[in-house]
Chain A
Amino acid sequence: MSMVDFLFYVFATLSVGGGLLMVLSRHPVPAALFMIVSLVGVAALFVLLEAFFLAILQVLVYAGAVMVLFLFIIMLLDVGPQGGKAARIKLFSLVSGILLVGMLVVVLVELSQAPDTSVVDPSTSWPELAEEATANEYNLTFSPSSKSFGFGLLAKYMLPLQVSGFLLLAAMVGVIILSKKFSNTDPEEG
């Protein structure tokens, strides 16, 4: 077993195990910490796939910004002692959830073993990466450098990049409006 295989199994266990502990933990704070473990495991898997820029982005955006936001909201909304009783999982929802997830896993495993009609055979080994990425505007070859990432974003995906920037702006405006206190517009509002 080579080093890369060993690291794959370590980080796969870390990400799936962290996710499972997150789903099953009773209190939100340990859940958020297990989620961080899972996200860092996924970032390490990105490193194994030689997507270094995405790994850095994963740690910065998910494990940094998003989970800090989650922890901040958890501390803001201190649900108090009634949180413990309501946080318990109902037996019915547990059974139905496990049934649904079992069906999902069966479908996905069946799909992954279906006869292969695609160009790329997933059970073969990885292609060798070219030393210098030979990319033009419509054919982007994979390369670990963040330079080719930026080229792809700004050449082929210029319009989606701007749309996603506009999406972030719209989300920011929405969050500000949602958390703003409007005085005497709605008597029910606190």
Chain B
Amino acid sequence: METVTPQHFLILASLLFAVGFLGVVIRRNILLVLMSLELMLNGINVALVAFSRSGANMDGSLFVFFIMTVAAAEVSLGLALLVAFYKKRKSIFSEGMSLLGN
């Protein structure tokens, strides 16, 4: 690799994180919010692997493994909660989740 430096990868990681954050803020469909959360975690993973490679240290790559595990658990639980929510409210949009506010 000649001209692509770790900085390029870090800027890309922050762009991925920002796009995922945009999705979390503007979408009301909870499925899309969960997908955007996955995108944010992917941005973190890219940054971790770039640091791990540029520092010639394995720890960052191992952390990516744990982040993937936690993300899989988070998605499965989130989708199960979404199905339970849909059973009660017949909706998957976040404005239906206002029971505590009333």
Given contacts A19-B19, A142-B53, A167-B70, contact A109 B11 (CB under 8 A): yes
Let me know if B97 is at the binding interface, CB within 8 A: no
A12, A23, A108: which has the most chain B beta carbons within 10 Å?
A23
Given contacts A73-B83, A101-B25, contact A16 B15 (CB under 8 A): yes
Contact present for A100 and B66 (CB under 8 Å): no
Contact present for B57 and A142 (CB under 8 Å): yes
Contact present for B57 and A126 (CB under 8 Å): no
Residues in A whose Cβ lies below 8 Å from that of B32? 22-23, 28, 31
Q: Quick one: which of A119-167 are within 8 Å of B by CB? A: 119-120, 122-127, 129, 135, 140-143, 148-149, 152-153, 156-157, 160, 164, 167
Contact present for B19 and A149 (CB under 8 Å): no
Contact present for B22 and A174 (CB under 8 Å): no
B1 to chain A, nearest CB (A): 5
Residues in A whose Cβ lies below 8 Å from that of B61? 51, 54, 142, 149, 152
Residues in A whose Cβ lies below 8 Å from that of B3? 1-2, 5
| Interface of A: prevailing SS | helix
The answer for the CA separation of A167 and B27 in the assembled complex, in Å, is: 28
Number of B residues contacting the other chain (C-beta, 8 Å)? Answer: 75
Q: Which of A61, A100, A142 contacts B25 (CB 8 A)?
A: A100
The answer for the CA separation of A65 and B73 in the assembled complex, in Å, is: 11
Given contacts A4-B2, A97-B22, A141-B57, contact A178 B27 (CB under 8 A): no
The answer for the CA separation of A23 and B37 in the assembled complex, in Å, is: 11
Q: Mark B1-38, 1 if CB is under 8 A from A, else 0.
A: 11111111111101111111111011111011011101
Given contacts A49-B50, A61-B68, A70-B31, contact A129 B82 (CB under 8 A): no
Contact present for A149 and B58 (CB under 8 Å): yes
Residues in A whose Cβ lies below 8 Å from that of B14? 104-105, 108-109, 112
Contact present for A22 and B23 (CB under 8 Å): yes
Residues in B whose Cβ lies below 8 Å from that of A89? 26-28
The answer for the CA separation of A57 and B42 in the assembled complex, in Å, is: 13
With A5-B3, A62-B68, A77-B92 already in contact, 12 other A-B pairs whose C-beta atoms are closer than 8 Å: A42-B16, A51-B61, A76-B83, A86-B28, A101-B25, A104-B18, A126-B53, A142-B58, A142-B61, A152-B61, A157-B62, A160-B66
